[in-house]
Every structure is written in structure tokens, then in C-alpha cells.
Amino acid sequence: MTLSVIIPTFQRPAELLRNLSRLQQQTCGQYEIIVVDNAADTSLEVRIRQFNRTALAPAMYLAEPRLGLHYARHAGARLASGDVLVFTDDDATASPGWLAAYGEAFRMYPDMAAAGGPVLPIWEQPPPNWLLVFMQGKKQFPILSLMNFGHEFRLDRDQIFVGTNMAVRRHILFEVGGFNPEAFGDVWLGDGESGLRAKLADVNQLVGYVPDAVINHHIDADRMSVDYIWRRMANEGGCELYTRFHTAPADRLSIANYAFSLAVKNVLFWALALLRRGQVDPLSLRIQGRAARTLRQVALALRLLHDAQYLRLIRKQDWLNGDPSSLP
């Protein structure tokens, strides 16, 4: 059982190097690290080369200039030699037993196709009380890519994983056609790892929750704001629209009906969100989040009516296989 760690990165060199430093502390045996630079910044390649001079586990650098998180993940998957591909983000750091926990779980459960583990916050500064209240009691908080389902291993077809902490058998990733598009820089236009979970479910693959495979997600001050929640929920709206039309009928009439119906159902929330903008009680945050999500869905649905390229992006089923130079 061999493991390949794949870290897509985009214009965060300091965070990435912090991540690589912590990966030197892993307690498992041999593993490889692949950094995929979605900004194709030559200065980052130099910094990684300097890092590798003293690294116990050096990192391979790979430039992927086509903007899109799926492009970066797939470039890493093609280069990787491991049986299991383990993905994380550049602004995360791994617990010392992270890879060992994944390696043991995939060895013990040969029918486990993919897995995720806890993602815990490290606050770069003390979080505001309203944010802690909003998060209270939630085992999963997608706005900050956090999750913690406890200390018991689970294996079924309904387990959740997030891009900050996920692992998948390499051959299965290729069999199901890889990830769908997700982030293009700071804008989301697809459902990424959510789409991968759906593909795995469609072919009855088992997904695990590995409680000892712990990742820490570093939360900076910008993400502790109402504006960030608004932006993140808008991105979730883009994800939901992609999922809606990825395989369902996408003729002009069905798209127009979808946009009209969504607007009718949510116009009151849009008005309430304007009145409550900036308020931080849980109800106001939920209203603002729903408004941001549905406004983005309507806007992208209207875009679908006249943007044939965007429609092709949504309808494409396999972004991983084939000649990578010929992929759009």
C-alpha cells in the first residue's frame, strides 16, 4: 500500500511551505508529496527546490497553468505513483498520524474506495463569538470546510469527505472519471468532491470515515466575517446549480423555468437579506446565506441560457481520462 499526497496550491506560498514542513513529521513509511501549482509561479518552484535540500520527504513540483482546482487535482493524480491518492489544501496542516491512519484503513478494508477524516480549525486569531454560536453543535460546517464525526470508524455508501482531507484509490478515481470542476481561483462553478461522492455512490462504492486521519484547517481573519459567509454561500449556489444540470435536461425552457421558480420561492429571502445585511445572529446569517446561495443559482441559470461554453462545462462527464492536452 503506497500513498501519494497531492496538494493543489494557488498563490499561497507561505501556507504551502508550512504544510510541507508539517508533512515531514508523518509517522508512516514511505510516501510521496506532489505540489500542483495552479498559478504556475516559477518563484514557487524555486522555493520548493530550496525546501527539498533539507526535507526528509521532498516534494515534487508540477505546474498546471489551466485555472481550475479539478485540473490541479487531476494533474497530480496522473503523476502520482501511489495506490491511494490523499488530497489536502495548501492552507492545512496534517497531524503526525494522518497518513498512517489512512494507510492502515485502506489495508484493513480492501472494499473501501475512498475516505475522509476530521478537519479541525486552527484560528489565526480569536474567532468572534457570533461565529462560534453559528457553528455550535454542528458536526459539519462546510463554510469553513470543517467536519468532525467523532472517534468511531465508519464504512458505508453515505459517508462525507471534504477536499481539505480526502483519500481515494487511484484506479477508482480514474474509473469514475475523476473530479468535476469546482473552484476557478476564488469562484466556484462546479461540485468538485461532492460530485465525486455522487459518482462513487452511483457505482455502489464504500466510503470510510477515518477518525485518526486528522487535518487542521488554518482559518485566517478574512474568513471570520459575514462577507466571507456570503461569498462562500454564493459559491455553494454555483455548486448546486452545476449538480442540478450536470445530468438532468438542460434545454432553454427547463433552465428558464428553473430560474423563474427559484426566484419566486426566494424573493422574500432576498428582501429580508437586504434588511438584515451585516447582522450576525443565527437567523440573520441563515437568511443571508440562503439569499446569497439562491441569487447565485439564478444568475448562473440565466448565464446558461446564452453561454454555450458554460453549458458544455456543466454537461461534461469525465475530466480526467484521455489526453490531458486536449481537455478543455
**Tens digits of residue pLDDT in 214-234:** 999 999 999 999 999 999 999
Residue 126 structural domain: 3-221
Instruction: Say yes or no: 8 and 154 in one domain.
Output: yes
What pLDDT sits at residue 247? 86
Same-domain status, 18 and 115: yes
CA distance 227 to 286: 13
Pick the closest to residue 32 from 52, 12, 10 (CA basis).
52
Which residues sit opposite 32 in a β-bridge?
4
Last residue of a domain, one of 190, 221, 252: 221
pLDDT tens-place string over residues 189-219: 889 999 999 999 999 999 999 999 999 999 9
What's the pTM? Answer: 0.93
**How high is the pLDDT of residue 145?**
95
| Same domain membership, residue 192 and residue 248 | no
167 and 276 share a domain? Answer: no
* pLDDT value for 55: 96
CATH of the domain at 72: 3.90.550.10
Please report which residue ranges of the chain form alpha helices under DSSP H.
13-23, 42-52, 69-79, 98-108, 129-135, 170-175, 192-202, 226-246, 252-276, 282-304, 308-315
Q: Among 180, 200, 221, where does a domain finish?
A: 221
152 & 236 share domain? no
Do 250 and 133 lie in one domain? The reply is: no
- Last residue of one domain, picked from the residues 221, 238, 261: 221
As a residue count, the chain comes to 328
